[in-house]
Amino acid sequence: MSEYGKTLDIIFGRWRSQILYVGVKLGVFDSITSDPKNASDVAKELGLDPALTYRLLRALGSMGLLREEPNSKFSMTSQGEFLRKDHPQTLRGVTLLEEGPEHYAIWRHLPAMITDGQQDSFVREYGHKIFEHTHKNHEYCEVFNQAMSSYSAIQTAWVLDALDGYDFSKIHHLCDIGGGQGHLLSNLLVKYSQMKGTVFELESVTKNKELLLAPKLGVKERCSYVDGDMFSEVPSADAYMMKMILHDWSDQECVRILSNIHISSPEHAKVLIAEHIVPGPETPHFSKLFDIHMMCVATGKERTVGEYSLILEQAGWKYVQTLNPGSGLISVIEGSKLR
């Protein structure tokens, strides 16, 4: 593709993501299977207009998500399978969140934010922050939780990869700050039988007992769920994990969180910060795009190793090392208490 064509491809990127969103929203990927199905039958099943449904399916086929066959029939591709509700690595929730009306609307504030230096367009658009929006809007909350579950599955795999050679032998109690339903911590407890763990989360997350992962992975006896607010105080533990938490918050807010951990932790404590780390200027990376997303949805940002080192030091910690996965996009920064 020519340089001109590559630029055009970027310009029309929103077309693709919105076509994908509509296909997911209308249930196309749960209607079509590996067996060819006529577009009119899909339309009838989903209560859609037949002619316009065919055009939507044709576009999805052009994107490689469906396979168009003779006589207006369509079947599922391996790429499209990830958009089904029942796929173990489903991206359905991610699609509905990131291309849904709320996140679509907040991006229009990007020029103004960059001009005046005030980020968080959720506040600009809705008058409150994203986490408050999850409490105010039930439909958005449901989609948000689905997306977070999808993110957790792949992110946990990346973090486990990055931590594969890490020495957990001296860690007897690991606390996962903002650990959600316990996906990452439960997987670590399965691997390291000497540890016990605490998932520290908001009560709005832990109250949904049927979604908690520790019982499902057989580590319920070694994993407790504790309600609380990391901006107030955190439980005492040997080590603390934070996966995709600090990037939500400004430097000042991160220092406050890390300082609370410092206060509650023993002298030998460690912190493990799992995030998309921004590499040098010569390296294209997803983190540099995700950083703009964070500009829109919150007060945080994606950071370099140097930036994480600085906020660690300001909260009483020292940077130890960065652990990178063999594959995947998330690295782990280790910090220990300053002596």
Point out the residues that are catalytic. 247
Residue pair 123/73 in contact (Cβ under 8 Å)? The answer is no
Expressed in angstroms, the distance from the first to the final Cα of the chain is 55
Residue pair 320/335 in contact (Cβ under 8 Å)? The answer is yes
Instruction: Name the token pair of 285.
Output: 């990376």
Token look-up 């957990």 returns 168
Quote the CA–CA distance of 332 and 60 in Å, as a whole number. Answer: 37
Query: Rounded to 5 degrees, what are φ and ψ at 157?
Result: -60, -40
| Residue 186 identity | S
Neighbours of 116 (CB within 10 A): 8
Quote the CA–CA distance of 256 and 254 in Å, as a whole number. Answer: 5
Sheet holding 37-38, edge to edge: 37-38, 73-76, 66-69
**Separation of CA 230 from chain center:** 19
Sheet holding 317-323, edge to edge: 223-227, 196-201, 173-177, 239-243, 270-275, 331-337, 317-323
| 3-state percent helix, strand, coil for the chain, nearest multiple of 5 | 50, 15, 35
Neighbours of 250 (CB within 10 A): 16
Quote the CA–CA distance of 244 and 129 in Å, as a whole number. Answer: 17
